[in-house]
Every structure is written in C-alpha cells, then in structure tokens.
C-alpha cells in the first residue's frame, strides 16, 4: 500500500508513483484500522480539484487547503475527531438558522396593524357599546405610536360580525399584524382575551387573558396598549408611553357613558347623533375634567346641523366651547384640535387659524384618518385642489375601507379634472357598498361634468331613495329631469334640478352653493347670487365651498369676488 503525504489518501496499487488528486509523490506505508476509517469517512470525492473549489479565481483557499490547514497534518484518528467537530458545529448552525427564521415574526419590527372589532362574547347586545368602545380606544392609543400605521375604525369595523382570516385582512388593508379580542362581562368582572397575530403567516405573536374588576377597565386598556406596542417591537420614548397609556378619566362610570356616546356618534343618524351628545354631556357631569368627553361633545355639535333641523348658529357656539375646554384640559388631544379646526373654518371663517389647528392635529397624531379627511376638505374649500387630493389619499391609506373617504377621493379626482380616474374610484366604492347614498351623489355630479345627464338623474334618484325619499317620488324626479334635458338640453336639465332642490322642504336644506351653481349653469346668475347673499346674511356654513369649482363660470363676476372678500376666502 502507498500513501499520499499531503491528502493522506491510501492507494493499494503499488505501481502508482504519484497521487491522482494533486500529483504528490507517494510514500510506502502499512494499512491499519485508522487508515481504513479515514478512507471511509473521507472518500476521494470529498476533495474536488482546485479549480472547482475556487470562486472566480479570487484567491479563496481550496477545500483541500482548508482541511490541511485546520487539521494541521495530525494523525488519522485526530483527523476524524476534528471532522466530527466541524459537522456538529455546522448542524448546530443550520438548526439555529431555521429556528430563528421560524420565529422571525417575533423578532422583526411591525410597522402596520389592524385592531379588529372585539367580539362581544356575552351575547348581550346592550353591551355592544363596550366591545366597540374598547376597540376604538385601543385604535386611538396605538395610533399614537409614531412608528406604526394603525388602520382607522371605519375600515376595521366593516369586518364586524364576520369570520375573516388574518391573511385576508392583510390583503385588504395592507397590514403586517392583526389584533383580535373577545370580551365577556360577568357581573362586576370583565374577562378579556387578546391575541396579536402575524397577518402573513397567521402565527400568534403574543396573547393574554385578563380577568379584572369592571372598575379596572381603564387601567386594563392602558396595559393592553403597552403590551401590544412592546410586541410590535416599537421603540418608544417616555412621552410616547405616557400618551399610549393615558386614560383621561379615573371614573369608570364616566368612561362607560363616553363609550356609549361614541357608539351612537359613529352610527351617523339624526336621532343617534343627538343621543351621542346627551351621553357625552352625562360623562362630563360625572367627571368635569374629562377632556375626551368634551371633545366628543364638540364633534356631536359639529354634525348636528348636517342631520337635524336648526341653524348652524345654534350648534357651533356650543361646539366651540366644548372644544376649547377639551384643549384647556389636555393641549395634546388631537381630536379636540381637529374639532376646533372645523369650527374655525366652517362657522367662524377664520381660515388661517383653522389651518393651524388642522396642522396641529396631524402633528399630534399623523395616523388620525378623520383629521386628514377634514384637513383635505378644508384645502378643497380654499381652492387648493391638488393638495386636497393628496391629503385625502393619505386618509384613504389610513382608512382604506371608509366609504366616505373613498367617495371623497373620487370627488376630488373630478375636481382636479381626472374624470375617468374618478369614475373608476367611485365604481370601486359602489362595489364595496352599493347602498351608501353619498357615493351615488358623487356619481351624479361626475356624470353631469361628463355630459351624461340622464345617468346623473338616475344616480340622484337612487341617492334620494337611500336617504329615505319614497321610491315613487324619487323615480318621478328622474323622469321630470330627463324630460327637461330632452326638451331644453343642459340648461333645461340644470334649471329643473335647481327648481326641485330649492323647493324641497328638507332638514337640513340642500347645500346652497350646489343649488346656486345649478342656477348659474341654467343661465340665471342673478337668482344664484340672491340665494348666496341670503345665505351670507344667515351665516350659512356651506358658503365656505364657494371656491370648490362649482361656480367657475362666475369667478370673474364682481359679485362673486365681493362674496369671497366678505367671507374672507382667498381670491
């Protein structure tokens, strides 16, 4: 037998003079058990030639060189031991790699989350306000985490009562994680099960069950918000932690009343808005220092003129007082600054101050979708249409399933002259819910701008039905308007629509700027300005929409410029 002194390969053919692997001269040597073991462990195929082991001739050592260097030309038995050590280390490394990757959902930072509607597992519909309120409170708390995008309430509540997988939520809302919860009230105790799930894999990141006294609900919510934030791997400052855990009141009864108020405010129906104001006031009566309740009361008074009869002068002073009190109690409350911005803009016509409040809102909470929506509508009223569209799209990113925000994006696309894109957007909104009245109104106005008047009449009719007008009257509207178009063209169409709108005895009445714009298109500018001047005398809050593009045909009219000056809108 002959042996290579370099690679230790044994050859039983004594006629060979040189190693077949590297050409080294062979030497004589006896065969023994160690030789046999080494040969079995390291067959010749374990040593590929030098060209195959080098990478692009970049000077890396060959497999043989590495082995020889590491082994140090030791005895065959020691060689075997060393190789076994290498194998064990390699297997351990591979195992660690797959273990860490299996748990990668735990270690990575999550930058987007959807807090799904908590399930009222008690079976008692009278405490729906509680499960809804806890959900909304957690959304508001987590939205204050600066590094995390939290989807807004109106998007996640489209899933209420539905079975949906985390992967479906991830697809719909573009989030990395989903927070699920179940609530059971047992007498004076509350049991809450919460789990944070990786939306891509469906794996649980974190979960916990809490059983506390009902009087400890406020502290429990703060604790859950902090736990979720920690498991999102978010790096928080001391101020961030304080904001996330803030409860605003120590009075559990006041908090329950606030949740009831928010529950009815979100229903967006006339009687419910009024009921929400009553609950917010009751919460304030229980805790006169409850800033969130004052903010809710301000928001209710802002909406009341849109849903109930009564002049805006009746509600806006109350809204201002509530918003200012909320800010006095807590200057960092984004919702209160947003409400004050709307009051300063819609009623006080102090537009520079209003914009400052909207900007302050978004500084305090960049994830506040309603704040971005209201700011976008303000920008539209200022005639800054591209900025308004960009801001509304940011609101849509935060609240992608909000019907009103999606519809407003479509409306702003129309205002920016992008009719085809607007049509695509509004049709997508209809696909989400064909029974949302505002979408049909937006479509009616879009069809008008595209010269498709009969389709516009049908969309108006559908919207009126969905808002409660008897179907026969809504259908009659469409017939009358279509006939007016057939006999009088566009001018006949707009004259008929304006006549019907002005004669409608509804509460609230149709927006004055809309009605006036139709009279302008019908060719009756004098009557349009009569309506606008009357609205100015009544301090109608719809006048802030004078620059929204509807009255483009009279922008050079001195009467139009005079109205802008008196209201304080930029020319």
Residue 309 tokens read as 């009869």
The C-alpha atoms of residue 174 and residue 172 are separated, in whole angstroms, by 6
Cα 115 to Cα 133: distance, rounded to the nearest angstrom: 12
**53 exposed, middle or buried (CB, 10 Å; 0-12, 13-18, 19+)?**
middle
One DSSP character per residue, 230-251 reads: HHTT----HHHHHHHT--S-S-
Task: Determine the length of the chain.
Answer: 571
Q: CA 122, CA 161: separation in Å to the nearest integer?
A: 14
Q: Which residues contact 513 (CB under 8 A, 6 or more apart)?
A: 532, 542, 543, 545, 546, 548, 550, 551
Domains, the chain, ordered by start = 2-102 (no CATH), 108-247 (3.40.50.10610)
Specify the residue for token string 């748990």.
Answer: 103
- Compute the distance between CA of residue 306 and CA of residue 229 in angstroms, rounded to an integer: 38
Q: Is the pTM of this model over 0.95?
A: no
Helix (H, G, I), strand (E, B) or coil at 27: strand
Tokens 């002194």: give the residue: 5
Q: Please report, in tens digits, the pLDDT of each residue of the chain (571 residues total).
A: 666 766 566 766 665 565 655 556 666 665 444 443 333 333 333 333 333 333 333 444 444 443 444 344 444 555 545 555 554 444 545 444 444 444 444 446 788 999 999 998 887 787 788 889 889 888 888 887 778 889 999 899 999 989 899 999 999 999 999 999 999 988 888 899 999 999 888 999 999 999 998 888 888 888 888 888 888 776 555 555 566 656 688 898 998 899 999 988 888 777 888 999 999 999 999 999 999 999 999 999 998 887 765 567 889 999 999 999 999 999 999 999 999 999 999 999 999 999 999 999 999 999 899 999 999 999 999 999 999 999 999 999 999 999 999 999 999 999 999 999 999 999 999 999 999 999 999 999 999 999 999 999 999 999 999 988 899 999 999 999 999 999 999 999 999 999 999 887 665 678 899 999 999 999 999 999 999 999 999 888 899 999 999 999 999 999 999 999 999 999 8
CA distances from 531 to 441, 498, 500, 562 (A): 22, 11, 14, 15
Q: CA 544, CA 568: separation in Å to the nearest integer? A: 9
- Give the separation between CA 120 and CA 450, rounded to whole angstroms: 47
């Amino acid at each position: 037998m002959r042996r290579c002194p370099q690679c230790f390969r044994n050859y039983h053919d004594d006629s060979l003079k040189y190693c077949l692997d590297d050409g080294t001269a062979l030497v004589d040597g006896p065969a023994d058990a160690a030789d046999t073991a080494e040969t079995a462990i390291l067959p010749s195929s374990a040593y590929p030639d030098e060209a195959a082991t080098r990478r692009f001739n970049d000077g890396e050592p060959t497999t043989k060189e590495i082995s020889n260097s590491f082994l140090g030309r030791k005895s065959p038995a020691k060689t075997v031991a060393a190789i076994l050590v290498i194998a064990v280390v390699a297997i351990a490394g591979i195992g660690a790699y797959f273990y860490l990757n299996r748990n990668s959902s735990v270690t990575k930072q999550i930058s987007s989350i959807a807090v799904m509607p908590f399930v009222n597992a008690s079976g008692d519909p009278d405490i729906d306000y509680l499960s809804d309120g806890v959900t909304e409170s957690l959304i508001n708390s987590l939205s204050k985490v600066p590094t995390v995008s939290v989807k807004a309430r109106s998007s996640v509540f489209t899933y209420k009562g539905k079975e949906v997988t985390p992967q479906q939520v991830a697809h719909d809302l573009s989030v990395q994680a989903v927070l699920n919860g179940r609530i059971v009230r047992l007498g004076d105790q509350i049991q809450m099960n919460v789990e944070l799930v990786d939306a891509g894999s469906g794996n649980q990141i974190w979960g916990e069950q809490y059983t506390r006294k009902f009087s400890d609900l406020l502290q429990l919510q703060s604790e859950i918000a902090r736990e979720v934030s920690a498991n999102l791997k978010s790096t928080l400052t001391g101020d961030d932690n304080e904001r996330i855990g803030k409860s605003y009141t120590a009075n559990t009864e006041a908090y329950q009343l606030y949740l009831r108020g928010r529950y009815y405010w979100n229903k967006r129906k006339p009687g419910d808005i009024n009921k929400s104001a009553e609950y917010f006031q009751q919460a304030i009566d229980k805790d006169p220092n409850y800033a969130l309740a004052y903010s809710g009361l301000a928001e209710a008074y802002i909406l009341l003129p849109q849903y109930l009869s009564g002049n805006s002068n009746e509600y806006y002073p109350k809204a201002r007082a509530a918003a200012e009190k909320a800010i006095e109690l807590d200057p960092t409350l984004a919702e209160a600054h947003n409400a004050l911005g709307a009051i300063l803009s819609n009623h006080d016509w102090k537009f520079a101050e209003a914009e400052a409040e909207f900007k302050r809102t978004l500084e305090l909470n960049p994830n506040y979708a309603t704040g971005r929506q209201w700011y976008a509508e303000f920008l539209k009223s200022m005639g800054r249409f591209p900025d308004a569209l960009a801001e509304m799209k940011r609101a849509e990113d935060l609240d992608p399933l909000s019907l009103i925000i999606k519809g407003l994006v479509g409306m702003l696309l129309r205002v920016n002259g992008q009719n085809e894109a607007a049509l695509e957007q509004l049709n997508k909104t209809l696909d989400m819910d064909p029974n949302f009245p505002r979408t049909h109104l937006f479509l009616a106005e879009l069809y008008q701008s595209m010269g498709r008047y009969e389709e516009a009449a049908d969309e108006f009719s559908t919207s009126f039905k969905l808002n409660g007008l008897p179907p026969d009257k809504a259908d009659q509207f469409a017939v009358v308007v279509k006939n007016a178009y057939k006999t009088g063209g566009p001018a006949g169409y707009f004259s008929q629509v304006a006549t019907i709108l002005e004669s409608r005895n509804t509460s609230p009445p149709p927006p004055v700027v809309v009605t006036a714009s139709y009279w302008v298109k019908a060719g009756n500018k004098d009557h349009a300005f009569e309506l606008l001047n009357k609205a100015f005398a009544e301090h109608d809050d719809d006048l802030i929409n004078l620059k929204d593009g509807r009255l483009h045909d009279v922008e050079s009219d001195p009467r139009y410029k005079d109205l802008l000056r008196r209201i304080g809108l930029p020319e």
